[in-house]
């Protein structure tokens, strides 16, 4: 019997402030999901919790320290991924793109703008809109 491939665990964070969410534009040279908008985040390392991975990725990619990180449900259409989604409304530092090899831009977006963006995983866009409406 062939063994099934385990999904890759990823952790993403929706930083939300003033009814806007921070998204990162994936560099066009990325192997997976190039040239698309996505929540900042990345792989959960072996032995690391999803929440710790989410906080680490925010520090590595945006230069911020997340104070509060709360889970929220977010769909993921890629069966090879298991997405752990968090949101934060408080963090220390001013988010900036400190990982230009991963992202070529970052930006703040209102919920009305999300459906028009080319997203890495459009399946989760509805959940992101729902989150933003809930924490207004």
pLDDT by residue (tens digit) across 41-86? 999 999 999 999 999 999 999 999 999 999 999 999 999 999 999 9
List domains and CATH numbers for the chain.
Answer: 9-134 (3.90.79.10)
How far apart CA 90 and CA 17 sit, in angstroms, is 8
State the pTM of this model.
Answer: 0.91
pLDDT by residue (tens digit) across 118-130? 999 998 999 999 9
3-state helix, strand, coil in the chain (%, to 5): 25, 35, 45
């Amino acid at each position: 019997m062939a063994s099934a491939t385990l999904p890759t665990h990823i952790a993403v964070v929706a930083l939300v402030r003033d009814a806007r969410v921070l998204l990162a534009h994936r560099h066009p040279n990325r192997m997976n999901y190039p040239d698309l908008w996505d929540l900042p985040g990345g792989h959960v390392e072996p032995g690391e919790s999803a929440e710790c991975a989410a906080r680490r990725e925010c520090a590595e990619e945006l230069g911020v320290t997340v104070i509060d990180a709360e889970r929220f449900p977010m769909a993921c259409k890629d069966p090879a991924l298991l997405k752990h989604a968090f949101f934060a409304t408080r963090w220390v530092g001013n988010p900036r793109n400190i990982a230009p090899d991963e992202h070529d831009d970052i930006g703040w977006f209102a919920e009305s703008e999300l459906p028009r963006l080319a997203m890495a995983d459009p399946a989760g866009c509805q959940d992101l809109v729902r989150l933003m409406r809930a924490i207004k």
